[in-house]
Amino acid sequence: MNNVFSHSLFTDFDIELFKAGKHYRLYEKLGAHCIERQGVLGVYFAVWAPTAQAVSVVGDFNYWSQDAHPLEVRWDASGIWEGFIPGIQKGALYKYKIQSNTNAITTEKADPFAFYCEQPPNTASVVWDLDYNWKDANWMQKRHQHNSLDQPYSVYEVHLGSWKRKGPDNRFLTYTEFATDLVDYVVTMGFTHVEFMPIMEYPYDPSWGYQLTGYFAPSSRFGKPEDFMFLVDALHQAGIGVILDWVPSHFPDDSHGLGFFDGSNLYEHPDRRKGYHPDWKSLVFNYGRNEVRSFLISNALFWLQLYHADALRVDAVASMLYLDYSRAATEWEPNCYGGNENLDTISFLKEFNQAVYANYPDVQTIAEESTSFPMVSRPTSMGGLGFGMKWMMGWMHDTLNYFKKETVYRKHHQNELTFSMTYVFSENFMLPLSHDEVVHGKGSIATRMPGDEWQKFANLRLLYSYMFTHPGAKLLFMGCEFGQSEEWNFQQSLDWHLLQYPYHNGIKELIIALNSLYKKEPALHEKQFSHDGFEWINYSDHQNAVLSFIRKGNNTKDDLVVVCNFTQIVRDNYRIGIPRGGNLVEIFHSDAKIYGGSNLQNAIEIPIELIAYDARAYSAAIQLAPLGISVFKII
């Protein structure tokens, strides 16, 4: 080999783990690593290409010549090619030139394990290291408290490319600019976590990051890897957790990506019925292949270990679980038991969750799963998939469908609101008002509310207040927190100028108050995933479109009474049953003037009377604001 000599980072045990699908730290071995060997500085390269006849490293250091730096294949049938090239330094551009031994195909691929990539549309990998001095030790020591299922979990979902842009050229903010602008804003708003739509490198902006080519590299659109670490660090120091969208469900067929990597179906399933996704016209991982499982689980642990992520939200889980997902009857084949479940995927997801929680018990995994697949957020020891939480898509669709109706018709559709309570505790649910609900012609959340301007914003305040008092964790997409008027456009900033208008600023103040209420009141989070945390007072007042219920914490004194009026009719002396005697104190009402409401509020203390009502011995007469929610404590 010309100027190339092998100095393997692999031990025999590494190879055994890799072949068995149990090597969860592959990023320490495969890829490009700056090392010193026998007093010589250079880069060790290793790539998995089992059907290759020849592999070489091409880059700006050898004029992209495939003959200059060939790699050697290991003797152990692992399919790994490796070599050490002296003199190369951090920042060098490179790819792998791969000649297949099964056909005449030659591919030129980016490194699947690259830590850094050229900024799109360029596609080369960049030799890099991940040397960063973290300052978030206090957060990391205590994050089990922030990520616990009995703590408030309020998530702000962010697309970095369009949260805010700057200058006449509409440029992206950098990771370091986000570390000031975004962090300050999230702290002000009171969210507990930020969820980043995929920040792993992706070639095509309209994919929003969900078509990945650089699984181990934060996108260079916004800066260098250590700059993204700086952003995560800043969020942690401000007391904010970081959730990363993770996409193990599919990947694009870009020529420099994972598809047909070594001239064969290496990462994707060879059966197109399992290896191609018709909705997204992308390739699907072969979850039954051990080496692919090692790749994916290593990637998950990589972001938790090296970037201190606090949670992974796994995208498109439903598409992974079902063999017939978005496929015609002739486009799928039942499993060995005659069912439509993808058994390889189920096994993989269980192993993924087991690996995550075994190594990082203080984080969460969150499934975007839109079907009734059972026990998604139950431990694998109980037969579940092992996720910590699951998005409550049914609640989202039913609730938005209800709220778009004119108030005069709502009395006929109250079951759309109450139905969620029949299954809300079957999983650890997160209530999402996500990016998917403000694109593709759906309009913004605000513009889907019925009525005149006052009613639209009152309905929006009502929707958010109902969401924050409903059992479960919360997720709100950026812009929703101030009533963004236009549908989300990934090519431009949010409409921040709207905050000069009272109604929009009122929604912002409402979200600040709801986040504060959620964090302050134990009854809203201590038992948010338990039957013990919720009790109906009355769900059958369809005629008035009113719901009332109790949220419970560990101590009875923390119980909250919540009453929701889903019409614009003011209701005086509205009587509700109360579990015990004392007085009611209104601690929150969505109709407050600061939120843009009419400021119709209850007396400071409302006496609870020994008058039987709603199957309870005690009751109280309250006032219901138009399109409003009131939250009371019993003292």
pLDDT score recorded for residue 487: 96
The tokens for 39 are 């007093």
Cβ neighbors of 372 (< 8 A, separation 6 or more) are none
Give dist(CA 356, CA 47) in Å, integer.
Answer: 24
Contact by Cβ (8 Å): 634, 618: no
Domain ranges for the chain: 12-109, 151-524, 531-634
| Collapsed DSSP state (helix, strand, coil) of residue 246 | strand
Domain covering 12-109, topology: Immunoglobulin-like (2.60.40)
User: What 3 state SS string does 162-230 have?
Assistant: CCCEECCCCEECCHHHHHHHHHHHHHHHCCCEEEECCCEECCCHHHCCCCCCEEEEECCCCCCHHHHHH
Distance CA 262, CA 247 (A): 22
User: Distance between CA atoms of 396 and 402, rounded to whole angstroms?
Assistant: 10
Rounded to whole angstroms, what are the CA distances from 194 to 91, 205, 412?
30, 21, 37
User: Residue 36 in 3-state DSSP?
Assistant: strand
Pick the CATH number of 151-524 from 3.20.20.80, 3.20.20.70, 1.10.645.10, 3.40.50.11740: 3.20.20.80
Residue 506 CB coordination number (10 Å): 21
pLDDT < 50 regions, the chain: 1-6
pLDDT digits 0-9 by tens, 137-183: 999 999 999 999 999 999 999 999 999 999 889 999 999 999 999 99
Summarize pLDDT for 522-569 with one digit per residue, the tens: 999 999 999 999 999 999 999 999 999 999 999 999 999 999 999 999
Q: Is 315 a catalytic residue?
A: yes
- Give the 3-state DSSP-derived string for 222-242, with helices as H, strands as E and coil as C: CCCHHHHHHHHHHHHHCCCEE
User: Tell me, what's the pLDDT at 38?
Assistant: 87
- Both tokens of 404, joined, read 């778009």
Q: Is 158 exposed, middle or buried (0-12, 13-18, 19+ CB in 10 A)?
A: buried
List C-alpha distances in Å: 531 to 146, 428, 527, 626.
22, 11, 8, 30
Identify whether the C-beta of residue 559 lies closer than 8 Å to the C-beta of residue 587. Answer: no
Q: Name the active-site residue from 315, 344, 427, 521.
A: 315
pLDDT given for residue 230 in this prediction: 98
In this prediction, residue 4 carries a pLDDT of 42
Whether 12-109 and 531-634 share one fold: the answer is yes
Q: Can 150 be counted among the known catalytic residues?
A: no
Whether the Cβ atoms of residue 149 and residue 427 lie closer than 8 Å to each other:
no
CATH topology of domain 531-634: Immunoglobulin-like (2.60.40)
Among 14, 368, 526, 591, the one annotated catalytic? 368
